[in-house]
Amino acid sequence: MARIRIPLPEHFPFRTELTVRITDINYGKHLGNDSLLSLVHEGRARFFRHHGFSEMNLGGAGIVIADAAVVYRAEAFFGDRLAIEIGGQDFHRAGGDLVYRVSNGEDGREVAIAKTGVVFFDYDARKVRPAPPEFRALFGD
């Protein structure tokens, strides 16, 4: 089976830190895959809020997560402080990819690389819409 590869963007314009909670731990006694996606979701919400936006209003449009991928590099455990860096790439007419580099805040060890495909959506009209220019501006594009 081919392994998933997530190329990294040239720069990550946003960084936040989150602590692994006991509820993020799975039966293997490490960070669960579902919890990793929840942590990057929190990071994405903080990124948007930092710029005065939300997932329901980013330049007049909401977002829909069209896909997600994760490549794990190392374990994380209860109490670990994780640095979540967010960058963007593969922009297209109606969206693009958000890429997350998750690393241990203490020793810098890379825990995971993740990607979510974002599509802009007009929730009133219930249809995909063009990406607002404010979206690409978040990444210096």
- What is the residue extent of each domain of the chain? 14-137
Per-residue pLDDT at 141 exceeds 70: no
Please state the φ and ψ torsions of residue 138, each to the nearest 5 degrees.
-60, -25
Number of helical (H) and strand (E) elements in the chain, helices listed first:
2, 6
For 47-92, what is each residue's pLDDT tens digit? 999 999 999 999 999 999 999 999 999 999 999 999 999 999 999 9
For 6-37, what is each residue's pLDDT tens digit? 999 999 999 999 999 999 999 999 999 999 99
- Whether pTM > 0.85 for this model: the answer is yes
Q: How far apart are CA 107 and CA 83, in angstroms?
A: 11
Q: 10 Å Cβ neighbour count for 25?
A: 17
State the pairing for strand pair 62-72/110-122.
Answer: antiparallel
Per-residue pLDDT at 110 exceeds 90: yes
Which pair of tokens denotes residue 78? Answer: 């209860």
Candidates 3.30.499.10, 3.10.129.10, 3.30.420.10, 3.30.70.3190; correct CATH number of 14-137? 3.10.129.10
Amino acid at 65: I
Q: How far apart are CA 50 and CA 93, in angstroms?
A: 24
Collapsed DSSP state (helix, strand, coil) of residue 85 = strand
Please tell me the predicted confidence (pLDDT) of residue 41: 97
Name the band, by pLDDT with cuts 50, 70 and 90, for residue 131.
very high
